[in-house]
Amino acid sequence: MARGQQGDRTEPRAAARAATATIRPRKSLGQHFLTDRRVLQRILAAASLSPADTVIEVGAGKGVLTRALASAAGRVIAVEIDEGLCEHLRRRLAAHPNVEPVCGDILSLAPDELLARAQASPPYVVVANLPYYIASAVLRHFLESAQPPVRLIVMVQAEVGQSIAAPPGRMRLLSVGVQFYAQAKVLFYVPPRAFRPPPKVRSAVIRLDVRPEPTVAVDDRQAFFRLVQ
């Protein structure tokens, strides 16, 4: 009887692993799935979550990090643009009532809309694994929103992370644009072998602590960014 009960518990897990194994990353979306659980735990620690926190996760992928976030936060809104992965997420996260899977383009989803959809309220934290081609747009999407997060824990290409956190004298437009709204710090680097498939370059996990007010008081922010460009 005990053996049969063990089989009942392990069969759903085996089925879930088999379903996950069939998912193939899409190069067009810059997908590289994080597989190193030590890195996952470091990201989770960096987010400094409590049961009172709401998290918006961008690029939920296979849901590995999502489940870890769900164990630490009160509410997780897991956004994924890949429709095939969305179906997988709904199945995999069905046992986590505090997770709200959302299928769509994060750039088309306002933060306050996402919070309302999940019946959550600010403040909130963003955790994201961002491909190079969309990193800047996603950061501006949150930092310039009417309801910005209190902090962001973001994984990007190492070069992008270094640029975002660059000190005065070495800043570029991306540095100025982000640090206008937040304090930026590179926390640690992630080697290509931590992903499947491995990217060609290493990644960096950065922390952005959003300022209560921008560093410079300007009436026209668009004009300000045209000037610094």
Supply the CATH number for residue 164's domain.
Answer: 3.40.50.150
| Angle between the N-to-C axes of helices 83-92 and 2-21, in degrees from 0 to 180, rounded to the nearest 10 | 160
Question: What element of type H or E holds 114?
Answer: helix 111-117
Q: Is residue 19 part of a domain?
A: no
- Going by the DSSP 8-state scheme, the letter that residue 170 receives in this structure is S
Please indicate, yes or no, if residue 20 is contained in any of the structural domains: no
CA dihedral over 122, 212, 141, 202, signed as positive or negative: negative
Counted domains in the chain: 1
Domain contains 7: no
Q: Check residue 13 and give its pLDDT.
A: 45
Please tell me the predicted confidence (pLDDT) of residue 14.
42
Q: Is residue 64 part of a domain?
A: yes
The pLDDT score that the predictor gives to residue 200 is 92
Q: Which domain holds residue 149?
A: 28-228
Q: Which residue shows structure tokens 């961002």?
A: 130
10 in any annotated domain: no
For residue 9, tell me if it sits in a domain.
no
pLDDT in tens, 199-225: 999 999 999 999 998 877 766 666 665
Helix (H) or strand (E) holding 151: strand 151-157
pLDDT of residue 222: 63
pLDDT band with cut points at 50, 70 and 90 for residue 6: very low
Q: With a cut of 80, say whether residue 18 has pLDDT above it.
A: no
| pLDDT tens digits, one per residue of 33-89 | 899 999 999 999 999 999 999 999 999 989 999 999 999 999 999 999 998 899 999
d(CA 220, CA 229): 15
- Residue 24: pLDDT over 70: no
pLDDT of 170 > 60? The answer is yes
Q: Is residue 50 part of a domain?
A: yes
Nearest to 48 by CA among 209, 158, 157: 209
Please tell me what DSSP assigns to residue 101: E
In a domain, 6, yes or no: no
pLDDT at 41: 97
Q: Are strands 195-196 and 33-34 parallel, antiparallel or unpaired?
A: antiparallel
How is residue 202 annotated by DSSP? -
